[in-house]
């Protein structure tokens, strides 16, 4: 493998072959498959493509090992039945569909439930060291919405172990990696993919990747919201690249607000407090000290049996006759409950609620099971979670919506040669993702995407062409902010950071956890105004590591995905999963048969309603059982 960092590219920068642009040298590389993103999905896709014989490269916006996947704490959901022998893929499939409020692409949910155990064992074969049960099996922990404890984990650092293992595998296979390189446009030859253009963050050098297949594994969109667990890279690039290339997105109205992000101090607002705290016994209390989640258990989950109290603890009994703490209801339910408590004036001093594990588990247990959380609160908030409750509140965490793909191959609908896997792909999680289902998703569909991309390339007769004019257009657009700065005397120019703050506030205030028609209308008007202002964002300074320039470019995708979310949220007149409408508070069975498909018409986002694919009878039967 060659891991390249600016300014030294992997291969010596080749002069642009027939792609002259005034004053520019272009670094050019040829591959069969280019994987954009080095999180779990990207690494697994690249390993799959490479092992299938494709010349493969990984391109990532930040450093290798720094993707979101590394931050995943709780674990990988897989029905290995190590803790509950009665667990199996059908139960996992049913939990996933129910968690997603039945809007999931059923075939993806099925493949995920069937293949996740194999992908976990494969990780172990490649060197991952999971926590063990007393019998020596891979330990599995409880998480919201899962009928059985099934998250394979490594303390609260599962993502770190997963990335470490996949990275080591990719390195040992010799896959080329281009770090700190942001892809800003896909290229096509006719309808099919022919490559991608990006720039190196440190030097500003433009890079052209000529490749017949591109796998997008770019993760989420959280940076469009003011309070988020997502880091700076998550500006919805893969979502926008797909739209601009003629593909479509599905389920964009469904954004997951994780119930527990830090709320204090302001500098760390939004940083995730893992669900493992609740999985390991933590409970939520309001300012009156009341475990308020008992007031919010939907009929859907609760059996006739009411709460029970044993050994000083409280539980409710679910439809499967399992005792469940109500803090482990699906995330959308818990986030809305916290929101309601805060609105009712029963919140914590800094606008959240209290998450208390200190009064329920001893200090040694907490430090052993939740080492990252212990340090996170100690260092960032000066709170000792073994002695005091944490203050927490909802934070924008995950987007269920994403690239519309073929469920078996992850091929993007309508764009031959384009694939998407991981958080950037839509369908798998429906209206709401269950915790732990993302890490399984990355592995299962990362592999499938990589395998399918390699197979697509091997079936091609020749290589697609890259048109000079297309490359010129990308470079021209990218350099525009510098030209504007030069002309700033004559024209009013905009500041990219101010535009970003305005967009984040709009999305937080008007397209957040609870939505209404009037606010969504306002949001769309404000997004349209921002869209008109973004082309006037001027950037000063040079191209060597200039974050203002990078942001000016990212704003295009941030605005595009924001428009997708707001438009789809306005169209879906019901409440379901990660989409709550104050003016349509009920789940509407008619909407339960429809997906919203988002496309780009060259100027704005358009919407279409599409019936859900029909679930086969043998799977549909699973939902008729009286549990
Ligand atoms: C704090 C936190 C904790 C979580 N805990 C869990 C958990 O316990 N269990 C679980 O199942 N899920 C969890 N999740 C969700 C899960 O981690 C993510 O959904 C998942 O890791 C996404 O993986 P990915 O491979 O799709 O993308 P990511 O890991 O997000 O990686 C995206 C990659 O794309 C690159 N990229 C983006 N845009 C570009 C571009 N334009 N050009 C080049 N590269 C680009 C990035 O640099 C990065 O390398 C958590 C998420 C967070 C934020």
- Concatenated DSSP letters of 355-399: EE-TTTS-HHHHHHH-HHHHHHHHHHH---TTTSPEEEEEEEEEE
Q: Which atom of ligand 1 is nearest to the CA of 222?
A: 53
DSSP-assigned letter for residue 418: E
- CB-CB contact of 542 with 549 (8 Å): no
What is the distance in A from the centroid of ligand 1 to the CA of 398?
Answer: 9
Task: Identify the pLDDT of residue 15.
Answer: 37
Largest CA distance in the chain: 76
Q: What is the CATH number of domain 468-601?
A: 1.20.58.100
Q: What is the CATH number of domain 3-12+51-210+221-256+398-442?
A: 3.50.50.60
Which range (158-162, 282-286, 479-483, 560-564) has the least confidence? Answer: 479-483
CA distance 16 to 153: 47
Q: What is the pLDDT of residues 50-88, one digit of tens each?
A: 999 999 999 999 999 889 999 988 899 999 999 899 999
The model's confidence at residue 3, banded by pLDDT at 50, 70 and 90, is very low
477: left (phi over 0), alpha (psi -120 to 50) or beta: alpha
Instruction: Please indicate whether residue 393, judged by its CB atom, sits closer than 6 Å to ligand 1.
Output: no
Domain locations in the chain as residue ranges: 3-12+51-210+221-256+398-442, 259-396, 468-601
Beta bridge partners of 59: 36, 178
Query: Which of 37, 41, 152 is the best mutation target for the ligand 1 pocket, counting ligand atoms within 8 Å of the beta carbon and taking the most?
Result: 37
Task: Identify the pLDDT of residue 155.
Answer: 86
Instruction: Please indicate whether residue 526, judged by its CB atom, sits closer than 6 Å to ligand 1.
Output: no
Q: Is the pLDDT of residue 306 over 80?
A: no
Average pLDDT over residues 401-425: 98
CA neighbours closer than 13 Å in the CB half-sphere of residue 8: 4
Instruction: Please indicate whether residue 433, judged by its CB atom, sits closer than 6 Å to ligand 1.
Output: no
Q: What is the mean pLDDT of the chain?
A: 92
Q: Is the pLDDT of residue 565 over 50?
A: yes
**Two tokens at 592?**
């339960």
Q: Is 278 a catalytic residue?
A: yes
**DSSP 3-state of 197:** strand
Task: Identify the pLDDT of residue 488.
Answer: 52
Which range (98-107, 111-120, 324-333) has the least confidence? Answer: 324-333
Beta bridge partners of 42: none
Residue with CA nearest ligand 1 atom 3? 72
What is the distance in A from the centroid of ligand 1 to the CA of 68?
Answer: 3
Average pLDDT over residues 402-430: 98
The residue assigned the tokens 């992000």 is 261
For the chain, state the CA radius of gyration.
24
Average pLDDT over residues 489-517: 91
Residue with CA nearest ligand 1 atom 8? 74
Instruction: Please indicate whether residue 140, judged by its CB atom, sits closer than 6 Å to ligand 1.
Output: no
What phi and psi, each to the nearest 5 degrees, are found at residue 209? -105, 115
Q: Which atom of ligand 1 is nearest to the CA of 423?
A: 26
Which range (390-399, 435-444, 554-563, 616-625) has the least confidence? Answer: 616-625
Query: Which of 6, 34, 39, 273 is the best mutation target for the ligand 1 pocket, counting ligand atoms within 8 Å of the beta carbon and taking the most?
Result: 39
- DSSP characters over 108-164: HHHHHHHHHHHHHHHHHHTT----B-TTSSBPEE--TT-SS--EE-STT-HHHHHHH
Task: Identify the pLDDT of residue 284.
Answer: 97
Task: Identify the pLDDT of residue 5.
Answer: 34
The model's confidence at residue 13, banded by pLDDT at 50, 70 and 90, is very low
Task: Identify the pLDDT of residue 117.
Answer: 98
Q: What is the CATH number of domain 259-396?
A: 3.90.700.10
What is the distance in A from the centroid of ligand 1 to the CA of 506?
Answer: 24
Instruction: Please indicate whether residue 260, judged by its CB atom, sits closer than 6 Å to ligand 1.
Output: no
Task: Identify the pLDDT of residue 9.
Answer: 31
Active-site pick, 258, 302, 550, 572? 258
Task: Identify the pLDDT of residue 37.
Answer: 98
Average pLDDT over residues 340-347: 92
**DSSP 3-state of 425:** strand
CA distance 180 to 287: 45
What is the distance in A from the centroid of ligand 1 to the CA of 23?
Answer: 36
The model's confidence at residue 18, banded by pLDDT at 50, 70 and 90, is very low
Task: Identify the pLDDT of residue 221.
Answer: 97
Q: Is 556 a catalytic residue?
A: no
**DSSP 3-state of 424:** helix
Task: Identify the pLDDT of residue 1.
Answer: 43
Which range (105-114, 535-544, 617-626) has the least confidence? Answer: 617-626
Share of the chain above pLDDT 90, in %: 81
Task: Identify the pLDDT of residue 401.
Answer: 98
Query: In 3D, which of 234, 214, 334, 88 has the Cα closest to residue 557?
Result: 234
Which range (19-33, 276-290, 358-372, 578-592) has the least confidence? Answer: 19-33
Query: In 3D, which of 296, 279, 300 has the Cα closest to residue 346?
Result: 296
**Two tokens at 454?**
């390699």
Q: Which atom of ligand 1 is nearest to the CA of 425?
A: 26
Instruction: Please indicate whether residue 61, judged by its CB atom, sits closer than 6 Å to ligand 1.
Output: yes
Residue with CA nearest ligand 1 atom 21? 69
Query: Which of 68, 100, 228 is the best mutation target for the ligand 1 pocket, counting ligand atoms within 8 Å of the beta carbon and taking the most?
Result: 68
Q: What is the pLDDT of residues 185-205, one digit of tens each?
A: 999 999 999 999 999 999 999
Task: Identify the pLDDT of residue 490.
Answer: 62
């Amino acid at each position: 493998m060659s891991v390249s960092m600016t300014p030294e590219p992997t291969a010596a920068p080749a002069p642009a072959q027939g792609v002259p642009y005034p004053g520019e040298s272009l670094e050019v590389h040829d591959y069969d498959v280019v994987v954009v993103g080095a999180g779990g999905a990207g690494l697994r896709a690249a390993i799959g493509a490479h092992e299938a014989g494709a010349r493969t490269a990984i391109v990532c916006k930040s450093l290798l090992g720094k993707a979101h996947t590394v931050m995943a704490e709780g674990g990988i959901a897989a029905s290995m039945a190590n803790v509950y022998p009665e667990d199996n893929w059908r139960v996992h499939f049913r939990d996933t569909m129910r968690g997603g409020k039945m809007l999931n692409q059923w075939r993806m949910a099925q493949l995920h439930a069937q293949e996740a155990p194999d992908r976990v064992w494969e990780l172990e074969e490649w060197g991952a060291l999971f926590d063990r049960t007393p019998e020596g099996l891979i330990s599995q922990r409880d998480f919201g919405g899962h009928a059985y404890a099934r998250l394979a984990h490594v303390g609260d650092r599962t993502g770190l172990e997963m990335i470490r293992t996949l990275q080591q595998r990719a390195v040992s296979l010799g896959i080329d990696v281009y770090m700190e390189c942001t892809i800003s446009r896909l290229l096509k030859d006719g309808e099919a993919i022919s490559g991608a253009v990006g720039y190196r963050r440190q030097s500003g050098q433009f890079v052209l990747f000529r490749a017949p297949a591109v796998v997008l594994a770019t993760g989420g969109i959280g940076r469009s919201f003011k309070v988020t667990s997502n880091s700076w890279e998550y500006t919805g690039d893969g979502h926008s690249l797909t739209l601009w290339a003629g593909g479509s997105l599905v389920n964009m109205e469904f954004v997951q607000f994780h119930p527990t992000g830090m709320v204090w101090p302001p500098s760390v607002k939004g940083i995730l407090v893992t669900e493992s705290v609740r999985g390991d016994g933590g409970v939520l209390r309001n300012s009156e000290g009341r475990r308020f989640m008992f007031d919010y258990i939907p009929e859907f989950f609760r059996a006739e049996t009411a709460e029970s109290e044993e050994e000083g603890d409280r539980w409710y009994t679910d439809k499967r006759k399992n005792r469940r703490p109500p803090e482990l209801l699906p995330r959308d339910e818990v986030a809305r409950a916290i929101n309601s408590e805060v609105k009712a004036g029963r919140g914590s001093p800094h606008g959240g609620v209290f998450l208390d594990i200190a009064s329920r588990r001893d200090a040694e247990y907490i430090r052993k099971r939740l080492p990252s959380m212990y340090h996170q609160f100690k260092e960032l908030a000066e709170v000792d979670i073994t002695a005091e409750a944490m203050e927490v509140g909802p934070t924008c965490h995950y987007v269920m919506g994403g690239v519309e793909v073929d469920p078996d191959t992850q091929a993007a609908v309508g764009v031959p040669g384009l694939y998407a896997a991981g958080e950037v792909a839509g369908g798998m999680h429906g209206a709401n993702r269950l915790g732990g289902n993302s890490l399984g998703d990355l592995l299962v569909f990362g592999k499938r995407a990589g395998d399918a991309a390699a197979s697509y390339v091997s079936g091609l007769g020749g290589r697609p062409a890259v048109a000079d004019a297309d490359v010129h257009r990308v470079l021209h657009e990218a350099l525009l902010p510098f030209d504007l700065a030069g002309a700033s005397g004559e024209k009013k120019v905009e500041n990219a950071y101010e535009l970003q703050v305005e967009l984040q506030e709009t999305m937080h205030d008007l397209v957040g956890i609870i939505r209404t028609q009037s606010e969504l209308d306002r949001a769309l008007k404000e997004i349209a105004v921002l869209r008109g202002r973004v082309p006037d964002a001027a950037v000063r300074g040079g191209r060597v590591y200039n974050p203002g320039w990078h942001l000016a470019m990212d704003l295009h995708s941030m605005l595009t995905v924001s428009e997708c979310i707001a438009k789809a949220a306005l169209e879906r007149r019901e409440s379901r999963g990660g989409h709550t409408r104050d003016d349509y508070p009920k789940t509407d069975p008619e909407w339960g048969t429809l997906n919203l498909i988002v496309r780009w018409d060259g100027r704005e986002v358009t919407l279409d309603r599409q019936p859900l694919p029909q679930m086969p009878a043998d799977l549909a039967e699973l939902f008729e059982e009286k549990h």
